[in-house]
Every structure is written in C-alpha cells, then in structure tokens.
Structure 1
Amino acid sequence: MHRLLTFIGLDSGETDVLRAQLETSTKQIPVLYFLLIVNCWALSSSFMNLAPLWLTITLPALLTVLSGARFVFWLRVRHRRVPDDRILKQLLGTVVIAAVLSACFVTWALALFPYGDVRAQDHVTFFIGITVVSCIFSLLHFLQAALTVTAVVIPAYVIYLLRTGDPTLHAIAINQFLVTIAMVNILIVGSRDFAQRVRSQVEATRLSEENARLANRDSLTDLPNRRQFFSTLEALLDRPDAGRRRFIVGVADLDGFKAVNDRYGHSAGDQILVEASRRLAEIEGLFVARLGGDEFGLVIDAELGDEAIMDEGRRICECLALPYDMPGIYARIAGSIGFAAAPDAGRSAEVLYERADYALYHAKASERGKPVLFSEHHERQIRQRSIVEQCLLGADLERELELRFQPMIDITTNRPIAFEALARWTSPEIGSVPPDVFIAAAERIDLIGTMTHVLFAKALEAMRQWPDDIRLSFNLSARDISSTEMVLKIIDMLQRSGLPPSQIDLEVTETSLVADFDSARQSLQALKLMGVRIALDDFGIGYSSLSYVHRLPLDKVKVDRSFMRDLETRTESRKLLKSVIDLCRSLDIGCVAEGVETADQVAILTSLGCTTMQGYYFARPMTGTEVHAFIAATCNDRGAGLRSWG
C-alpha cells in the first residue's frame, strides 16, 4: 500500500493537503460526471443507426449508471467532514475508480470508431479530446486522479489513431498528444502551487493559533492569562440572561509565597506556582487564570448561594494549603480568596474584579487562608474610601496634618529615649480620620510622598525642642523607600535641618519591603550611610521577618503588639518573645516591645531581658507641647539641656 501511495504521489504525511484536495474535489467531480453522461449520450446518438445496440444503448446505459452512482456519492459527501484517517483511503479509491471508468469510456469510444462515417469518427476524436480536457480542468487540484485519467486515455487513443494509416488521423493524434503534454505541465504546476498555498494557509493558521494561544495563555503555567480571564467575564456578561443569572468571580493569592521565593529562589517559586495552578485547574467547575505573580483569577459559572460560595472557597483554600513537597523544596503556603457574585456586586468585568480584589484585601488583612465574599458592608467601605480619597486630594496637608508623639521608655532609668512620630489628619469635611485609613488612601492616590514630606518636616521641627539625648523615630511607607526621588528628598531635608542624623530612627515594616526588596534595601543602605538608624517595625507578623533581620542594615527591631496579647497567660508566647530578644542581643541590635499596657507585661518583659518598651502603660500619643511636660516630669533635671541648633 505504501509503495502504491508513493507511486501515485499521495503523501500520507500531508493530511492538510489531502483534505484540501478532497474538499475541492467534492465541488468539481460531480460536474465532471455530469459532463461525462452528457458527452456519452451525445456520442451514442451519432452512432445510433451505425453501430450495434449494445454499443449505442447498453454500454452507454451501464456507463451512465456507474457515473450517476458516483455523481450521487460525491453530492452526498459534499457537506460531510471526512475523518483524517479516511481521507487517504477515499482519495485512493477515487484514483482507482477514475482509472477503471477512464478505461471503460475510452474502450467504448474506440469500439464505436470503426462503425462510423467520417463525421461520426470525428465525433469520437472530439469526445475523447474534450473528455480529457474536462477531466484535467475538473481535477486540476487532484493531480493524481487527473494524471491517471490522462495516462489511461491518451496513449490508447493516440496509438489507435496512428494504427489507422490515415494521415489526417495521424496529425490529430500527434496534435492531441502535444496538447496533452502541455496541459499536463500546466496541471503539474497548478497542482504544486495549490499544495503550496494550502501549506502556507496551514502554517498561517498555525501561527495565528499559536499567537492567539500566547496572547491568551500564561507561559509558565499554561493557564489562561489576565486577558483571557477578562474575555471570559465579558462573554458571561454578554449572555441574554446575564442580568438574572448569577456567577461568581474570585481572586486568589498565595499567602507566604514571597518568603518561599526568597528562601529557595525563583526557580523553586515557579515550581510552586505550577503546582498551585495544577491543583486549581483540577477543581471541577472552576475556571482558573493566572493574573500575574502569585495571583489567580477564578470564575464559577453556577448559581450558588452565599454559603455555597463560601464552602467552595474553603475547599479551594484547603487545596492550596496542602504541603508543597518537591525535590529540594518543602513549603506550606496558604491561599486567601476574595469573591464577588454577579450581578449583585457589579455588571461589568472591571467592577466585578475590583470587588473581588477588595474582598481579597480584607481576607489577607484579617482572614488569611480563608475566603471572603464581597458584601454590602464592603460596598459601604468602598464609598467611604472614595470620600476619604476625594477629601485628601483637596486637603491643605500643611494645615490639616498633625503629629502625635509616643515615648519609648528605657526601663533601667524610667526615662524616654525616643519619641515615635504618629500622623493624624482632621479633615474639615469629614472630621478625624484613622491613620491606617488615610495613609492607605494616600498610597492609592499617589499622595504619600507629599504627605511624608510634610510630616517629616513637622517632626524635624518638633525635634529641635527636645533634649540632646532624645531620639526621633519616623515611619516610612512602601512608596517612600521604593522611590529614589523620595529617599533623596529625605536626605536633603536632613542635611538642611542641621540635626544630627545619628539621632533619627527611620522605621519600615515588612509589608513595605515585599514589593521590591532589592530596591528597598538599597534605599535603606543609602540612608544608613548618611548616619540615620534603621528599625524594622511590626516584627513577627510576617512570614519572613527573620530573613529580613539578616539581610537588612538594621539597628533596631520593634516587636509587634500582637506578642503582648497573651504574654501573661501563655508560656509559649513568653518563649517565643525570649527567642526574639536573644536574637537581637546576639546580632547586637536593639529590641523594643510595642503595645505594653500592664505592669505585669512590664515585669515579664524585664525578666526576659527586654529593657526598651512602648505602649499605653507609659503614655498615650501626645502633642508637641505635652512632650515637653512629659520630658520634664521624667527627666527631673538630670542635666539634659535643650538643643540649641537653629
């Protein structure tokens, strides 16, 4: 079979070309059979009174039946897609049948030739010539069948005419032979060009599909990407029943992925992302897309109630929380999810995503490793957040922003050694706004740099009035330390103030380091070279606090207030805090306990070796004027004079 296919030029490896030949043939071959039947009876009529009935009626009728059957066959398969594994078989069958029918027709026509007069014989030559031409043009894109017909008909026809001894017929035979050679050449060239066009179209289609895949798939995980995620949302929203039918949009994020990535490297991080993607993709009824980094977009096209949504969310979180045990890697990572249900939470892809992302923000802030469904409560928070943002944009920051100062106390002397500057904002429109609210809003609307500039200037001015041995502690945001421009502004303000940089602590939190650790470290090193001291605030609430202690130019660690909650009742809490204090001592960096509120906490911390504390037990945040009174009351004229700079 393989030799036969090779002999007649049917390449089984080029399925696309073979399919194109078959599909083109289904449109042209029926026309060819119609012409054969018409030409057959036209020739038969010329010999009706000259040749026997079996040649003029019986054989033409038999050939008509055979041709008609093939005519009907090709009409029936015209709109039917033939499976790939049957294309070659059907084309081969067509070639064989073409050979058989060609032999039958030419044999019948030449059998009529001796019975006719000159005109009737001319009709035979015309019939064969026009039939060959019709076949060549009808089978122009099916080279094998066209050549088969030509090879069967023309040699027999030419040889027959040459053997008649008639010079005129000799001339017709030679002329027909030469014309056939020319047409076969045209046929070969045309067929080759057809095959090349098919290959080019197939390649263009493949490239188009590959480009579409690349445009809509994530290269690492092979999940749909952000673009495909939003396209899917748009398709769901474009359904006729979109306003009545519920579906759920989710945004999932891996908690602690950054720490694993830092510990094991980016290659290991990629492996975890691939594994997390695989787990999500295997959840039935869940559309998953990778939106970027360790964030995934989820779509559940089902009308689920709120409790069912939360059950599904918990199932997804449990799936993500399973250990990631791979060669050279063992990690436990939680997953937080924010859900928004359409159409309740929104009627556009962008709004639904923003609502789900807002719910994720709440999950990561207070419900890590759990799902959160966007609700009316969140809707009110968004409106309130928008009001805060609008008020901030129109605020006179120089006039409306104030500072409060909370002391850090050295227990061995019961004196303040530093004051932390805490921002306060009172808006004329909406009144006093909590710091965590307006600072987050300032970061969202890109106003945090301006706010830091105003607050730092106020802090430096307040510090001028303090005794020489009292330090200033000032908080920097993530935007501050990731911005080269802002770092340079801080350095310039320090230089212009004339205050000694060595008496200033700049506090950063772990969350402010996560986005771009390398850039943050460079900024802190530049500030450190100027002489300021660097403190890591809220130590212990993140996944990678210990790694930051080793990798940053730190002078101080401030233990988060969460350590104080059960310090008096749980031995484990005291042991954990003891290990932090010992770590700071071994690294020769300071340790400050935040959130101290009771005398028992002070006693326990002192027994554990912590000597610097901050919290309501000692003093609440106070105004600049109250700072002077506090210092006077605690220092009690121990020789610390006021600064004389400026």
Structure 2
Amino acid sequence: MSVQSDIFPFPVKGGDTHETALTERAGRPSPASCREEDVGPALAAAYPSSPGAAADCIILLNADGEILFSSGSCDPAEEIAEIKSTSGDAWNASPLFRQEDRSTVIPGATNFCGQCETQKGHSRWWDFKLGDTSTRLRLVLINRLRQEKPRMGTEAQIAYSHLGAVLESTTDCVVVVDREWRVTYMNRRANALVGGGGKLAVGVNLWEAYPEGLINEFYHNYKKALATKTPVEFEGFVPSAGIWLEVHAYPSPDGLSIFFHDITEAKRARDEIAHLAHHDALTGLANRLKFNECLSELRSRAEGGELAVLLLDLDAFKEVNDSLGHPVGDALLKAIAYRLRNVAQDAGLFARLGGDEFALIHSPNRSGLAPTDLAMRLISCLDDPFEIDAHMLRVGASIGIAMASDSGPSPDDLLKNADIALYRAKAEGGGAYRIYEPGMQEELRQRQALKQDLHNAVKSGELVLEYQPLVDIRSGRITTCEALVRWHHPVRGIIPPAEFIPLAEETGLIESFGQWVLAQACMDAQNWPDNVGVSVNLSPVQFKNRDLPAAITSALSASGLGPVRLHLEITETVLLHHTEHNLNMLSRIKDLGVQFALDDFGTGFSSLSYLRNFPFQKLKIDRSFIADIGSVSQSEAIVAAIIGLAGSLGLNVSAEGVETARQLDWLMRHGCHEAQGYFISKPMSADQMATLLWQSSQVAVG
C-alpha cells in the first residue's frame, strides 16, 4: 500500500511486507506510522530544493542507522547488502560506503560519493545526501545511479578532452594561471602569440615571463578580478611584443582564466579614425572640432594670464582655386600650411578651420611672444611665392586678433571678435592684422546693413554713372570717358565706390551690378560723337565669369555701340595667375573688337610677361606715381621707364590722377599720350558729358 503525504510529493511504501518486517524486528514503528512532524523537517533540511524530486531512492534512518522506510525507484534492501543492522552501532557499522570513504561524512547535511555491493555481489557507486536533523532521525537520499568508477574517469577524460578541443578551436588565446601566477594551461594560439619560444609556458610564472606587466594595467586588472571575484575586461599594450591586446579575465577559486586576442590593427584603425575626426585630412592640422574643444578647455580651466585667438584668412587664394582648379589649390594650401605651422608650432594650437581659413590659440605668457609679433611673422612667411605645378603663385594673409583674460569673453565670443577684427583687416586691403576693439562690432553691423541696402540699390535707381574724360595731352582732345559708379543712398547720401564695390564683390552682386554698368555705359556712349570711346572697369570677380563675353556682346548689341569704342580696364590682380582660362577669356573678348587697358600698372605683381602674352592696347600708370612727380625722383624714374617701355611695345600710355599743371607738363615732356584727373575735369553726369562733347570736339588743356 502506498501512502501519499503532504510532506512527501511521492508515494511512501507504507504496506511493504519486507519493510514492515525490518522495522518490526528493530522494534520501531513502520513507515506508515512515522510522524510527519518528524519526517517532514528531516527531508526538507536534508534536501531543501524540491525534496526527493531528483532522487532515485530515499532511505529514512533512525539515530542507530536502522531503516524506518524507503521510497523511490529502487529497493535498497534488495540492492544493498547488510544495509540493516541489529547492533546498537548500526550507523557506523553499516556498510553504506567503504571504510576509506567514511571520513568524508561529517555531522550535518553532507554530500558524498560511496561504493557498496548489491545482493548479487556487484559493486556500485552511489551519490548520497545525509541529513542529521535530530537525535531521532537521519535521512539518506540515494541519488541517481552512477556508472562504475572507471567509466566515471573515462567520462571525465572525455569531458576534459572536449573542453580542450573547444579551447584550442577558439579564436581567442587562452592562458590559465593559479593564484601563485603560474601558468597551468595555454592553448596553441596563446603559445604562438605570447609564448615567445618557451618564454611563457605551463609551469612558468606569468610575471617572470613578462615583468613589464607588473607596472601596467595587466597586473592591476588581474589582481582586481581575483580580489573582487568579478570578471574584468580591458585593453593593454605589451611593450616587449609591440602589440595591443583585448583581455577578458575570469576569476575562480583556483586562479584566473585569461582570454585575449591581438587588436593591434583594429586599434590602429580606431586611432586613425579618431585622428581624422580631430584633424584636417588635407594639411594634417587640427580641425575646427579640435580647435573648439581645446579653446573651451583652456577657457574653462582659467589657468591664468592672457589668451589670444588669431584668425587668419588667405588673400587672393580664391582666385588661384577658381582659375587653376582644386588640385592646384589643394597643393597650395598644403604648402601654405607647412610654412604657417613652422612659425606657429611653438606658439600654441594651430588649426585649419576650413577653406582658406586658419586659427591659432596663443598664450603670450608661455611663448614670450606678443600676439602682434606672431601675426607679423605669420604674414611675412607668405611673402615668397609658391611654385606649384610650374606656376609661381603669390598669396597673402590677413589676421584678426581677439584677446581674453581669465574673466574675459567666452570661446564663442572670442572667435566672433577675432572674425570681426579679421573682417576689418581685409576691408582695409588685406596683408595686415587688426586687434579687436568694441567699436568694430558696430561698424560691422553698419556694413552688413549696407550690404542689404546694396541689394535694392540697382532696382531702386540709386546707382548712377558719372564720366571723367581722358584727353590727348598734345591735342587736348577728349579721346575716352571713364564710367564711374556712384551710389546715392537715400539716408547716407553719396557713398564712394571704394566703400561699396568691395561689398558688391563679397556678396556676388558685382555680377548683376557689372552687367548694368556695361549696358548703361554703352547706351550713354552711343549718344556721343563717334570718335569718343567709353572705358569700363571690370572686377576680377566678373572676369572669372565664363559668360562675360556674352554680357559684353549683349550690351553692344542693345546700344548699337561700335565694339572699337568700348575700352575695358582690368587690373593686374586679374592676371595674377597666368592660366589658360585668362588667355582664353581675353582672346574671346578681343575677338569682339573691343580695346583692353591694363589699369593701375606698377602697383601689383607687375610682370613683363603680361605685356607679351595679353592683348593690351594701353597702360594706365597708377595715380600714386603721378602724385610724386616733382617731389620724388624715384617715382619720376619709374614713370619715365613705363612710358619708354610702352613706346617700345607700341602701347599707348595714360596717366591717372593728374592734379597739377606741373604734373601735366612733366608727362607731356616725357612722351605720355593721355592724362586724366581733376586738373583736367571732375566726373560729371551722362547728360553733362554729352553736352560737353557735342559743344566742342576738343578741350583745351593748360
């Protein structure tokens, strides 16, 4: 008969005749009569997790080792010989396990493995779990039947071999060390990577093989893993091997299992990506991100002393890039960066912010160099030309400087102030530095407002043309009239060209602006006598426009003006870069039948090759030389040389800015052909000029 108990989740053989006989002979109650308050706590204490659920056989014994009952899939009385005992020392005498195994049993709940014989004389290995819960009862849980000990050893060996195969096949290197740091296992990959021909092997102390590890992150992390019994992972460099490792270390009671692999190439790639994120790919300098981070860090630390930000922008670089192409422009930028870096390398962090803009964080207290002195060195280092792909290229630099003390402007404000100062430097002609002053911000605000007003100036009729005559010095006849743009601002009045022409070039308005001047000048000149031409200045920005010939053709066609009467003036800035584009553009325009004059000759990067390679008909001597006639002999010599050179090349010569009779007389004596200036005539409106021309075909001079 089986009894189901609330305490036992399995049937108890309460009516078994054999068990009853055993218990009766022992003078003990049968299993069915055992009290639950005795059996339940014993079972729960000895096997707390699902009592008996994992057991093949359960035997309940009293303090003397006599069987009170059994349950499960086996009958111990049939399987185990002499399991019962009638002696008072049955517990110790009972052959549940051999003599050599008895020492493993200690008071309290105990797990052990023992061997005993069956009734049939077979030796079996069993797992036992004992509970010494009171003086009245003992509980023995005989768990799942084991195989013979040799088979157990075989299975263990198989498992060990399987584990070894797994560790040998993993892509990681594996090293196992004991708590004395001696290697107890290494797989083949570990031996190949760090074994060093026997340097590290089983039985060798890890730190004797790699003593440098004692002073770096390896020892620190391994010790931490053992102390905290928590796995660690980290990256470390092995100097003797020259490699980076990614390491995962797992502690155990016996020591440490270390899994690692070589990440040298991966780390190099990561470092390269990180470098690219903070450096300019073209020049190798720090980029805007790195610059901003460094500036913010320095301002937040407030270490004392002044801090200067120098913002540098290249002059005339855009012309190179547009005319010669980006490959030449990039090569020029690299060469420029090299020169600038050599000057700035000891002064602070030097960066390329983008395009042709560079920046420097400078600490005067550390370098011992004033920001203004550093700025002049940076500008001066670009004085010599650069030879790029057989082109001799010249560029300059303008610099804006902003200063700050510990309590000064924020990083953003410093950059903004330096930018405002840079704007002033470029507006004043470039090639110089300017230090930020509070008043500059208001000037910039007004300049920005002026740009906005300029957008509406053409449409609203605020731009008008005035004309200043050029006369033949010997005959006094007006040969040409130069078109000069005037801006009649509704609030500020007359704004001179020197103030708004650069604004038009900055904003790109010079394109539409220039087309209007061309069209209007041709229209006005059509009302003049046929022997009088009109001269129009072309901006370097206009000259780069491939549609310029079409705009000239349109102006001539709309007005009906003969091409030979249109004189186009360009400066040496346009010809700074001798390119196929320049030659092609000039040739296309000359094919239209118009005339060319080289304006402001002698003030730019003068080159006689200009006069040989470009189709000019006239040279215009800059007013700065004319103003010195009669007072500076060197200027007189230069003017005389230009006149002689032009005569030898068959070119006409015109003098600008003639203000006195003495200047005009000197020019006449030295063979100059034409003169222009306030001494001859001030600029006048188109109607006034038309009236003057028709009243007299000649203007007496002197």
State the TM-score, normalizing by the size of structure 1.
0.62
Give the distance between the partners of 2:681 and 2:484, measured in 1 at CA.
13
Listed one character per residue, the Cα deviations across residues 404-431 of structure 1 (whole Å, up to 9, x for unaligned) are 1111111121111100000011022322
**Is residue 631 from structure 1 mapped to residue 702 from structure 2 by the alignment?**
no
User: Closer, same or farther in 2 for the Cα pair 1:188/1:289, shift >3 Å?
Assistant: same
User: For 2:344, which of 276, 281, 304 is the aligned residue?
Assistant: 281
**Is residue 117 from structure 1 mapped to residue 180 from structure 2 by the alignment?**
no
Listed one character per residue, the Cα deviations across residues 52-84 of structure 1 (whole Å, up to 9, x for unaligned) are xxxxxxxxxxxxxxxxxxxxxxxxxxxxxxxxx
Computing the radius of gyration from Cα coordinates, the structure with the larger value is 2
Give the distance between the partners of 1:336 and 1:290, measured in 2 at CA.
15
**Is residue 192 from structure 1 mapped to residue 175 from structure 2 by the alignment?**
no
Q: How does 1:417-456 map to 2 (within 5 A)?
A: 417-456=479-518
User: For 2:573, which of 511, 518, 528 is the aligned residue?
Assistant: 511
Give the distance between the partners of 1:427 and 1:215, measured in 2 at CA.
48
Give the distance between the partners of 1:345 and 1:455, measured in 2 at CA.
45
Give the distance between the partners of 2:508 and 2:652, measured in 1 at CA.
33
User: For 2:519, which of 448, 453, 457 is the aligned residue?
Assistant: 457
Alpha-carbon distance, 1:403 to partner: 0.9
Alpha-carbon distance, 1:248 to partner: 2.3
Listed one character per residue, the Cα deviations across residues 14-35 of structure 1 (whole Å, up to 9, x for unaligned) are xxxxxxxxxxxxxxxxxxxxxx
Which one has the bigger strand percentage? 2
8 Å contact 2:628–2:635 — kept in the other structure? yes
Alpha-carbon distance, 1:465 to partner: 1.6
8 Å contact 2:486–2:495 — kept in the other structure? yes
User: For 2:640, which of 570, 575, 578 is the aligned residue?
Assistant: 578
Give the aligned partner of residue 158 of structure 1: none
Alpha-carbon distance, 1:573 to partner: 1.6
Q: Which amino acid aligns with 1:357?
A: L
User: Closer, same or farther in 2 for the Cα pair 1:259/1:348, shift >3 Å?
Assistant: closer
User: Closer, same or farther in 2 for the Cα pair 1:203/1:252, shift >3 Å?
Assistant: same
Give the distance between the partners of 1:227 and 1:241, measured in 2 at CA.
20
**Is residue 251 from structure 1 mapped to residue 311 from structure 2 by the alignment?**
yes
Q: How does 1:211-610 map to 2 (within 5 A)?
A: 211-233=273-295, 239=300, 247-253=307-313, 269=332, 272-284=335-347, 286-291=348-353, 295-301=357-363, 308-317=370-379, 336-342=398-404, 343=408, 347-348=412-413, 351-362=416-427, 364-365=429-430, 368=431, 370-395=432-457, 397=459, 399-512=461-574, 519-544=581-606, 546-610=608-672
Give the distance between the partners of 1:520 and 1:330, measured in 2 at CA.
15
User: Closer, same or farther in 2 for the Cα pair 1:219/1:616, shift >3 Å?
Assistant: same
Give the distance between the partners of 1:458 and 1:256, measured in 2 at CA.
30
8 Å contact 1:449–1:486 — kept in the other structure? no
Give the distance between the partners of 1:487 and 1:516, measured in 2 at CA.
19
Bigger drift between 547-556 and 421-430 goes to 547-556
Give the distance between the partners of 2:373 and 2:672, measured in 1 at CA.
45
User: For 2:155, which of 175, 200, 217 is the aligned residue?
Assistant: 175
Q: Which amino acid aligns with 2:151?
A: A
Give the distance between the partners of 1:404 and 1:325, measured in 2 at CA.
43
8 Å contact 1:250–1:297 — kept in the other structure? yes
Alpha-carbon distance, 1:604 to partner: 2.5
Alpha-carbon distance, 1:527 to partner: 1.6
8 Å contact 2:306–2:364 — kept in the other structure? yes
List alignment gaps of at least 5 residues for structure 1: 1-114, 128-166, 639-646
Q: How does 1:69-108 map to 2 (within 5 A)?
A: none
Alpha-carbon distance, 1:324 to partner: 9.0
Give the distance between the partners of 1:122 and 1:545, measured in 2 at CA.
109
User: Closer, same or farther in 2 for the Cα pair 1:345/1:559, shift >3 Å?
Assistant: farther
Give the aligned partner of residue 131 of structure 1: none
Which one has the bigger helix percentage? 1
Aligned-pair RMSD on alpha carbons? Answer: 4.4
Give the distance between the partners of 1:558 and 1:530, measured in 2 at CA.
22
Q: Which amino acid aligns with 1:249?
A: V
Percent identical among aligned pairs is 31
Listed one character per residue, the Cα deviations across residues 513-537 of structure 1 (whole Å, up to 9, x for unaligned) are 5599654543333222211122222
Alpha-carbon distance, 1:601 to partner: 1.8
Alpha-carbon distance, 1:439 to partner: 1.9
Q: Secondary structure at the match of 2:588?
A: helix
Q: Secondary structure at the match of 2:616?
A: coil
User: Closer, same or farther in 2 for the Cα pair 1:358/1:257, shift >3 Å?
Assistant: closer
List alignment gaps of at least 5 residues for structure 2: 1-97, 107-111, 114-146, 175-188, 190-244, 247-259
8 Å contact 2:529–2:694 — kept in the other structure? no
Q: Secondary structure at the match of 1:185?
A: helix
Alpha-carbon distance, 1:606 to partner: 2.8
User: Closer, same or farther in 2 for the Cα pair 1:318/1:633, shift >3 Å?
Assistant: same
8 Å contact 2:308–2:403 — kept in the other structure? yes
Give the distance between the partners of 2:617 and 2:320, measured in 1 at CA.
25
Give the distance between the partners of 2:101 and 2:336, measured in 1 at CA.
86
User: Closer, same or farther in 2 for the Cα pair 1:281/1:594, shift >3 Å?
Assistant: same
Alpha-carbon distance, 1:270 to partner: 6.2
Q: Which amino acid aligns with 1:359?
A: R
Alpha-carbon distance, 1:347 to partner: 4.0
8 Å contact 2:618–2:654 — kept in the other structure? yes
Q: Secondary structure at the match of 1:596?
A: coil
User: Closer, same or farther in 2 for the Cα pair 1:427/1:561, shift >3 Å?
Assistant: same
Q: Which amino acid aligns with 2:100?
A: D
8 Å contact 2:336–2:382 — kept in the other structure? no
Give the distance between the partners of 1:171 and 1:345, measured in 2 at CA.
79
8 Å contact 2:343–2:377 — kept in the other structure? no
Listed one character per residue, the Cα deviations across residues 570-623 of structure 1 (whole Å, up to 9, x for unaligned) are 222222223323333333333222111122222332333321221112111111
Alpha-carbon distance, 1:320 to partner: 5.7
Give the distance between the partners of 2:171 and 2:291, measured in 1 at CA.
44
Number of equivalences: 473
User: Closer, same or farther in 2 for the Cα pair 1:118/1:186, shift >3 Å?
Assistant: same
Give the aligned partner of residue 209 of structure 2: none
Q: Which amino acid aligns with 1:522?
A: N
State the TM-score, normalizing by the size of structure 2.
0.58
8 Å contact 1:391–1:429 — kept in the other structure? no
8 Å contact 1:405–1:627 — kept in the other structure? yes
Give the distance between the partners of 1:515 and 1:240, measured in 2 at CA.
47
Give the aligned partner of residue 4 of structure 1: none
Q: Secondary structure at the match of 2:475?
A: coil
8 Å contact 1:252–1:335 — kept in the other structure? yes
Listed one character per residue, the Cα deviations across residues 465-516 of structure 1 (whole Å, up to 9, x for unaligned) are 2111111101122332222345423322222322111110112223355599
Q: Secondary structure at the match of 1:299?
A: strand
Alpha-carbon distance, 1:451 to partner: 1.9
Q: Which amino acid aligns with 2:156?
A: Q
